[in-house]
Structure 1
Amino acid sequence: MNEYTMRCVIRQHRTQNVHWMIPRPVNSLFTGRSELVQRIESTIRNNDQDTTKQKRLVITGIGGIGKSEMCLQVADLLRNDFWGVFWVDVHNPSTAKSDFLAISKKIGSAAESVAESVQALANTKDRWLLILDNADNPEVDYAAYIPSGNQGVVIITSRVPECSQYSTLPAETLEGLNKEHSTQLLLKAARRPKASWELCKKQTLAIVQLLASHTLALIQAGAYIAEGHCRLEEYASKYKQLRERLLKHYPKQQQSRYQHVYATFEASVTVLNDAGEVGQDALDLLGVLSMLHSSMLPLHVFADAWDGAKVALSAKDNETSAIDTTAALGEWHVSHLPRFIDGQADERDDYRLSKASALLVSLSLVTRHGSDERDGLSMHPLAHAWAKDRLQKRQQDEAWVRTGCLLALSWTQPEMWQMFEKQLQPDLKLHLQSFLSPSVQTIFQYGPLNMILPIFLKSGWALKTMREDKSLESMLAGIYEVFQIVPQNPSEEHMGIWDLAARNLEDMGHADQAAKLLEYVVKVRKNTLRETSPLLLHSQHTLATAYHTNGQIKEAVVLLEHVVKVRETTLAETHPDWLASQHMLAVAYWANGQTKEAIALLEHVVKVQETTLAETHPDRLASQHNLAAAYWANGQTKEAIALLEHVVKARETTLAETHPHRLVSQHELAHAYWANGQTKEAIALLEHVVKVQETTLAETHPDRLASQHNLAAAYWANGQTKEAVALLEHVVMVIQIILPPTHPDRKVSERNLAYMQSRAESRELVYLMKSLFLL
């Protein structure tokens, strides 16, 4: 044992706490974190560490998470290890000075400034513990508050992650409590008898999830319940109605410094207001994030929006904006981007965005994520709620418009969303749901109708890409109501709406209505645009797709041959639009019985795409999928299975489980397995597809009915007679409601059911005889 350690041991034996300057007692509601408390206690008491360094520990975390309460616990445990235990609130210079002068007076110093007080504490020969609470301003150098020497121990609490640099001991980051401790804290605060805790576990967990295990929020919720304002089982529903009131409620006893959750976050606004342009940019960014979901927003959205702004400004004089003004993004949208994006600049500059986001991160208001495709920002749900609720009505409207322009212009560049669809789509879906949560009628009050509509239409195309078909249908219904229009009676001035509406009708299983609407769109555009117009060709391509879906195969082939021929004269061989038309023509050929032509064309498309598109690109996978289907129809079963297995594997890495494109590939692979005699594999895959579609598609949707029909056929082939008959009876019952007696799909299903029913009894008898024979 060295001389210094010996002195420490002797001092500990004779130490008695003389000065105890702690602002409040430990909170009786303190729950969990016992391992962390013990670790800190052990680290501070450990005398085997470097004796030449002062022991300093920094605890960081979001406001209201319990950093100060942790210090109260540690101070209480270590009280008799120190001659003096002192607490300084450093959230602003005046409180820091007041607390330091009080310490000086207590220890008999005549210090008149912070510096003199700090020096007086450094000169004290007895052991002391100094807690610097609320070191939350990233612009302040808190080293000025740390006494020199190694006689004392310093604990610093901060929301600023960079403050960890002051720590000579391993810094600690405070996260939310785990579920068990969160429920215990809530029930303690609600003053529920311990004997009843298990009975209300479900309701308690719902509140814990709602409040994201935020310590102060759980205490507030418990106090609200304990004071009789609502019952435990009512809190979740009341929170959704009265969020701001509930998060500003606070207990009368054992209050935290900020009293309620929102006050912990509002304290950071002072820093933002004092930070000049970067502070205002940070507030702008906070407003944008508040209009979206609290989950991760990829930073590439901001870069894509700048790129989209250049496209919008350069396209203001082209024929698209001249004919379809309802769909056009333009100068108004660029001018309403957040101020830290200069859409008029010749080069993109991310400096202001970087500074603004860094400032918010430094205040623990947002979290930065840093992987390649998931480089982005997220917020704690309660910080996110505060960011929205702090805005006045006018400010919220303005924030929605800025966010809408950002998203709409970013969707002009959809490649990133497509390439990482599975990883990004869950977040994008949540962001869109939050962004579109006000009613359509309400949103149109935020700005000029003709400027808000393009934002809606861009959002609609995003919903279409994600196959959020019902959400898109609902949004379109709101647009129809505002403009007093209906797709059954289209008008020329709303062409952008009809484009989107027709695609939605097709996706919702109404291909006949989609075709009629698109026939009108094509007719209008043929009268106003030249034959080679990309807009006209796109409309004709889309109409041909609707024809194909509606069973009008010959019409689809004729129209697609025309589109392919025209695009051949205007586009390069590798252009996505030309390849898309060739792809669709091949699909139509296949449906028309022209299998060889279909295979030849698809093989060409796939070959070109393999040289121009990434392996997981949706267009490349779609072409491979359809080539595999053509192989299967041509009797090339092994080639079909190999290609489909590749497509399914790729789509499982890029698309959500419920995405129709992933499901249709699994369906097609199951079909190929069945044809190849791999009945068990086919059944397993079809059962999965049917199960997912039951949660995502209407009972009458053609895709759902097709999957059920094929599963029934697979059951029959596998000898599962009862299951086959029962499932096909259901399919026929639905089809007879939605399809006329002459429809070919209805005829096929009815014929197959009649066949199964006529042979079911004899088949069951054969199985019974076989089983008796085996016995």
Structure 2
Amino acid sequence: MGKSELCLQVTNALRKRFWGVFWIDVDNELQAKAHLLKVARRIGSEVETIDDAMEQINEISEPFLLVLDNADDIKMDYQRYLPTSCLGTVLMTSRNIECRKFATVNNHIVLDRLVHPDDEELLRKTIQTNALMTRQLVSEELTEVCELLAGHALAIVQAGSYIAHGCSLPQYVQEFKRQRKRLMEFHEEQARSRYGNVFSTFEVAAQRLTNSAAANDQDAYELLQILGVLDWKALPLSTFLAADRCMSLFEEGRRHETWDLLKLWHIQQIPAWVTHPSRVSTTFNHEGACTAEDHSSSVLPVVIGSNSQSPLHVSRNNRLLQAVSTLHKLALLMLVYDETDASVTLHPLVHAWARDRQSATRRDKSWITAGCILSSLLLDPTYIRAESTALKSHAISLMADIPCLSSSGEILRIAVMCCFIMVRLELHIEAMAPTQHLVSKLPAVENQPKEARWALLCIHAAAYQFAGEHEHVIATLLPLIEAMGKSSGSKARLAHATLYCSHSMRQLWRLNEARDLVEPFLRSLNEGEVQAGIEVYPRVKAEMANILGCLSRYDEAIALMLSVVNEEAAGREAHDRHLLSLRESLAMTYAVARRPEEEIAQRKIIFVTRTQHESETSYWRLIAGLHLATAYNMNRQPWLAFRILADIQDAVKKSWRSWTDVHLDHALQSGLALLFMSEPALALQQVEPVYQFYRTRLKKSDALRIKTENLISNIYWELGRKREAIKMLSQVVEHQDESGMSISRPWCVGNQKRLGGWKEEVARLDGSSDAKIDDVDDNKLEKTQQDQTTTEPQTADDVSQTQSISCQADVPGPPSATMGSGQEGDFVQETTTEADRATAGMQEATAGLEEISLKPS
């Protein structure tokens, strides 16, 4: 058992003691940064640097375990990855003896070799389990092999698997000695792997493949080298089948999906064992055995997995599966199954060996092949979305080691397409470093493809836009748009650049500049281009509608969006992602124009469609439900909002670890609905525990945090906790100013006026000055919140449980006497003068909620 495996077992055994367990691979700084930023996002904070991520981790208020795996680089400073919080426990694995200085007293453990007779017993069992024939095993020969392998468990298992398939123990000893000498001569001194002699064990198996003339062995060897430049984690076999399918899409003319970066040359780099399906269907059983059956049909089933003990039927491509089977038998990879697919994964040791054993030239070739396979997937966006979780680590790993760009313009094309894949996988933060690297290397690229440079700058801007770097986006894209406008190149690329640039201008409220940018592009489109079916053109029209809406030209915005939606609906399925995105833009346009009935009608279509075609915990399905509930709340139909929120509550509880914004927004809308139904105590019980959980995990200027604090201030006011309300609303005003959202925003100005009114009222009632009202004791306020509300949850699961109790409470619906016809929108509640004042205050408080959340689809 290796250090990572042992660490994993320890982690699993101790998991219940910690609120959270965070596994960081610190093999290199780029990878460590990507993992730390991902951890920060998982706990609800958007940060950009390692130090900021560590600061957020240090603010976790519950016990947590931080695993720093592969801290082997002698040049890296691992001190910066150690938390300073007294609630943090660190488990570090390293082959660098200097890292023992980080351990507390008596907590540095050296993992020694397996001792006799444990090592010999492991080797014996491995051989007997996998042996093709019964043989007599001599104890002395077993001991000699174990000594050669220095008692390394993984090496013993791999050697036993190799011996079991036709090699005697003495023969293995001789081959090992030869391979060890060859391995040490293979690497330059600075390129030697940290794993030492263990690699010699794997090298024996590789030599068997290279010495074989069998096509299956050659295919397996090439597959191993490709896996070496990807990540060691599970890669779905369906990825290769999808690449095969994308060849046909390329031939059918779908290359515009790649901004015309994908060329025939790239398709030709994909190995024959991926693109040449066989008429033989292959079956994997769960021991990894591979059998073949002839089929008369030329179109055989695609990958279908099973987590039961029944065989896994895969196929249309026998060569791929035979290659996988060969590597599996040699213990060079493992097979992992789920309900829909089979995946291959490498042990980290094997992965490091498979990568390090390749010369620089060979590794560049493997990188090109792997990059072409991934790049081809751009032709199938549906597959990218379906397998996004599995593909992410492989895209990151591939882009962490880009070959020299000066050697070929084709490498630049591949690198740009892989960055495009990263953006499609929503790896915007991770894409920032490789896109910046590529931009810096552009001057050195010989025969620089113009379209690759343009696409790179657009993708670079998209990554930085996600991080909120809107000034950088505009500075990058404006010169590009000018250059592209003078060229006869594809207007689709110009459309993307225009869209990204306008989006950033709109976020900075530079509306006239955005309009002046988008209008000329739309006028330049001829009828043939509009009818070409290229998705980005309708999106630019939708962006124009968003601009018009922000300029209060509502009728024009709605007319434009309606025409776009109707045109696209005529030629697309109801659940088409592009059409749903346009409907979302139309709904937001209605919202800004204060036409709630039309907005609700569109949001109903979106929510019902996503409910019918997407999984229960789909992010976009949950977002559609939240948007519909928000629209009901804004239209003063809180009982309908609460009904939607109750329907999606279980899914929100299941997915809170993945979607922080969904969890908090669900609590926000639930609390708002309860407040509108005159249940402020229940509203506070619903929203405050979730807010307290995420308060330190979100930036103070985060829009969702500001909206939640705004709601809580209103609840405090309704409950008579006026000083706490003033304190909370003061935070809202301060934070919205920090984020720049108060510029030309009626909602923000309304908050400032309301704060002044509240202070005047409290001062009048108390007979005190404004200065005294501002002087609220923070410690007393915190104590009051804890005393008067539910106990703050220890984990987000506790928060979800609190939500469950609140949603099951007896909440009043609309009074039947005032229901009119009983249809949605007919309810007009009769209220007292005091209630009128409360409602007016809430309208002032909530007017513009949709403006804060308004984003282009």
- TM category (shorter chain) comes to 0.5 to 0.7
The corresponding residue for 2:159 is: 134
Is the counterpart of residue 461 in structure 1 residue 458 in structure 2? no
**3-state secondary structure, aligned to 2:162:** coil
Equivalent AA in structure 2 for residue 693 of structure 1: L
The corresponding residue for 1:247 is: 194
Q: Quote the offset at 1:658 in angstroms.
A: 4.5
2:600–2:628 contact (8 Å) kept in structure 1: yes
1:90–1:133 contact (8 Å) kept in structure 2: no
Equivalent AA in structure 1 for residue 337 of structure 2: G
Change (3 A) 1:575 1:281: same
Is the counterpart of residue 637 in structure 1 residue 638 in structure 2? yes
The corresponding residue for 1:693 is: 698
Is the counterpart of residue 336 in structure 1 residue 298 in structure 2? no
Q: What whole-Å deviation, never above 9, does each CA across 1:363-400 have from its counterpart, x for those lacking one?
A: 22221101124631122222212221122222222222
Q: Quote the offset at 1:526 in angstroms.
A: 1.6
1:610–1:620 contact (8 Å) kept in structure 2: yes
Q: What whole-Å deviation, never above 9, does each CA across 1:498-540 have from its counterpart, x for those lacking one?
A: 6279559859993657956972794376248433332254333
TM-score (ref. length: structure 1): 0.59
Q: Quote the offset at 1:567 in angstroms.
A: 2.2
The corresponding residue for 2:496 is: 499
The corresponding residue for 1:470 is: 429
**3-state secondary structure, aligned to 2:379:** coil
Is the counterpart of residue 488 in structure 1 residue 498 in structure 2? no
**3-state secondary structure, aligned to 1:742:** coil
Change (3 A) 1:673 1:140: same
Q: Quote the offset at 1:646 in angstroms.
A: 3.4
**3-state secondary structure, aligned to 2:331:** coil
Change (3 A) 1:729 1:245: farther
Change (3 A) 1:623 1:470: same
2:502–2:518 contact (8 Å) kept in structure 1: no
Is the counterpart of residue 271 in structure 1 residue 208 in structure 2? yes
Gaps of 5+ in 2: 1-109, 131-136, 149-155, 174-188, 279-297, 301-315, 443-452, 458-475, 767-771, 788-857
Q: Quote the offset at 1:565 in angstroms.
A: 2.7
CA distance in 1, matches of 2:519, 2:684: 46
Q: Quote the offset at 1:563 in angstroms.
A: 0.2
Equivalent AA in structure 2 for residue 682 of structure 1: V
The corresponding residue for 2:392 is: 429
The corresponding residue for 1:679 is: 684
CA distance in 2, matches of 1:528, 1:474: 39
Q: Quote the offset at 1:743 in angstroms.
A: 3.0
**3-state secondary structure, aligned to 1:86:** helix
Q: What whole-Å deviation, never above 9, does each CA across 1:662-693 have from its counterpart, x for those lacking one?
A: 65455444544554532121112233444443
Change (3 A) 1:740 1:57: closer
Equivalent AA in structure 2 for residue 288 of structure 1: I
The corresponding residue for 2:249 is: 311
2:243–2:373 contact (8 Å) kept in structure 1: yes
The 5 A counterparts of 1:83-94 are 85-87=139-141
Q: Quote the offset at 1:583 in angstroms.
A: 3.7
The corresponding residue for 1:185 is: none
The corresponding residue for 1:65 is: none
Is the counterpart of residue 280 in structure 1 residue 243 in structure 2? no
Instruction: Give the fraction of aligned pairs with identical amino acids, expressed as a percent.
Output: 18
CA distance in 2, matches of 1:660, 1:60: 53
CA distance in 2, matches of 1:445, 1:720: 69
The corresponding residue for 1:748 is: 750
The corresponding residue for 1:452 is: 414
Q: What whole-Å deviation, never above 9, does each CA across 1:328-364 have from its counterpart, x for those lacking one?
A: 4342332122342117999683212211112222222
2:713–2:726 contact (8 Å) kept in structure 1: yes
The corresponding residue for 1:58 is: 126
CA distance in 2, matches of 1:306, 1:357: 17
CA distance in 1, matches of 2:656, 2:125: 45
CA distance in 1, matches of 2:266, 2:597: 49
Q: What whole-Å deviation, never above 9, does each CA across 1:701-753 have from its counterpart, x for those lacking one?
A: 54454455445555665677676655554543454353464333431343344
The 5 A counterparts of 1:719-730 are 728-730=729-731
Equivalent AA in structure 2 for residue 134 of structure 1: A
Q: What whole-Å deviation, never above 9, does each CA across 1:598-645 have from its counterpart, x for those lacking one?
A: 222333444455555555555544433322222222222232123234
How many residue pairs get matched?
554
The corresponding residue for 2:568 is: 567
CA distance in 1, matches of 2:190, 2:720: 57
The corresponding residue for 2:358 is: 391
TM-score (ref. length: structure 2): 0.54
The 5 A counterparts of 1:49-198 are 57-58=125-126, 85-87=139-141, 134-137=159-162, 140-141=165-166
Change (3 A) 1:326 1:604: closer
**3-state secondary structure, aligned to 2:270:** coil
Equivalent AA in structure 2 for residue 470 of structure 1: I
Is the counterpart of residue 296 in structure 1 residue 350 in structure 2? no
CA distance in 2, matches of 1:56, 1:405: 43
CA distance in 2, matches of 1:517, 1:59: 73
Equivalent AA in structure 2 for residue 543 of structure 1: E
Q: What whole-Å deviation, never above 9, does each CA across 1:110-154 have from its counterpart, x for those lacking one?
A: xxxxxxxxxxxxxxxxxxxxx999344378346x889xxxxxxxx
Q: Quote the offset at 1:313 in angstroms.
A: 2.0
The 5 A counterparts of 1:646-657 are 646-650=647-651, 653=654, 657=658
Moved more, 339-348 or 452-461: 339-348
1:298–1:377 contact (8 Å) kept in structure 2: yes
Equivalent AA in structure 2 for residue 496 of structure 1: R
Q: What whole-Å deviation, never above 9, does each CA across 1:35-71 have from its counterpart, x for those lacking one?
A: 9959979xxxxxxxxxxxxx97436999xxxxxxxxx
